Amino acid sequence: MKKFSIAVLPGDGIGPEVTKQAVNVLKAVGKKYSAEFVFKEGLIGGCAIDACGKALPEETLKLCRESDAVLLGAVGGPKWDDLPGDQRPEAGLLGIRAGLKLYANLRPALIFPSLKGASPLRPDLVKDGLDVMVVRELTGGIYFGRRGRTTTAEGEAAAFDTEIYSVPEVKRVARVAFEIAKVRRKRLASVDKANVLESSRLWREAVTELSLEYPEIELTHMYVDNAAMQLVRNPAQFDVIVTTNMFGDILSDEASVITGSIGMLPSASLGDGKLGLYEPVHGSAPDIAGQDKANPLASILSAAMMLKYSLGLSEAADDMEKAVNRVLESGCRTADIATPGTRLVGTEEMGKLIADCI
């Protein structure tokens, strides 16, 4: 029996309730595939601030480093919105990404066949489907560059944030994207703003240089404004997208909503080793927290990515994805993806349906 230790960081808002369902589904998977998962909980985000005054307690980071994988819910909420930037729940999330050196964030946006009607795009635009993997740089760029407040020569208040990338930082995340493109449709779009930003010109040079090692991959470069437009104009043209931390944040939300609901989208954050952090792309949704309304599928699909990328259990991961598809095909939907004629279920029931299906 293979044994894996999994750090579970439920966080705030709907984080705990969706994560609970993912854990239950993992338990069902463990039984079927003779794997033992040992779950250990840790604090992150607003709940950690309340309990110990820090969004990312040292113990949490230690727990994660000693684990095979990390399953995270979501962080943040109105209660902590007035705290200074470096003390907010979100600082915990940035801290754990950097602390575990997870520089590549994989955000697959995929339209499930049974949810075709849920996309806000006209049917003729999504006719060819959507299956895009956004690879977002996660531990650099403007999120981590020098920032601060200053005053202008006239004495007016001003502020700045710095976008900075080194060649190795660009190449290591681009390598992840090239490798993923290799086992997909062999097309990679590198998104930047090289017509304006010097950091983007360096980004483009580094990606181009690396592409010499991947002659079988068709590489294109695209400006971010054009990429945002192309995603809604003809989403099927994309296979893998690689981009900076901030552009990836924005484009992955855009790609996700094209699939119907951000409540469906998982993510994996990876570094050089096997340790990865798995979390839904959605946030903590405080408005519906604790009401059994949240869609647990993004968390469940994140757990499936964990099986594949950190634990080497690809077959079990496929099984989980199939279970999600089967339950959707049976017509069960949480509120965010419900359409007339489908059966509305809550968070708990959706989780149970998937676990039973396994």
Which residues are tagged catalytic?
143, 193, 225, 249, 253
Residue 183: strand, helix, or coil: coil
In the complex with ligand IPM, the residue whose CB is nearer, 173 or 354, is 173
* Binding site partner of 93, from Mg ion, ligand IPM, none, Cβ cut-off 5-8 A by kind: ligand IPM
Q: Residues near 253 by Cβ (< 8 Å), separated by ≥ 6?
A: 262, 281
In the complex, the smallest distance separating the C-beta of residue 248 from Mg ion, rounded to whole angstroms, is: 9
In the complex with ligand IPM, the residue whose CB is nearer, 177 or 353, is 177
In the complex, the smallest distance separating the C-beta of residue 279 from Mg ion, rounded to whole angstroms, is: 11
- The reply to whether 169 sits near Mg ion by the rule CB under 5 A is no
Helix axes of 245-258 and 224-233: crossing angle, nearest 10 degrees? 10
In the complex, the smallest distance separating the C-beta of residue 137 from Mg ion, rounded to whole angstroms, is: 13
- Burial zone of 272 (CB within 10 Å; 0-12 exposed, 13-18 middle, 19+ buried): exposed
Task: Looking at the chain, list the stretches that DSSP marks H as alpha helix, in order from N- to C-terminal side.
Answer: 15-32, 46-52, 58-65, 89-99, 167-182, 198-211, 224-233, 245-258, 297-309, 314-329, 347-357
User: Torsion angle of alpha carbons 288, 290, 291, 295, nearest 10°?
Assistant: 70
CA 303, CA 291: separation in Å to the nearest integer?
22
In the complex, the smallest distance separating the C-beta of residue 160 from ligand IPM, rounded to whole angstroms, is: 19
* Binding site partner of 90, from ligand IPM, Mg ion, none, Cβ cut-off 5-8 A by kind: ligand IPM
- The reply to whether 279 sits near Mg ion by the rule CB under 5 A is no
* Binding site partner of 68, from Mg ion, ligand IPM, none, Cβ cut-off 5-8 A by kind: none
Binding mask 237-266 toward Mg ion (x if CB under 5 A, else -) reads: ------------x-----------------
- Which residues are at the interface with ligand IPM (CB under 6 A)? 90, 93, 249
In the complex with ligand IPM, the residue whose CB is nearer, 90 or 169, is 90
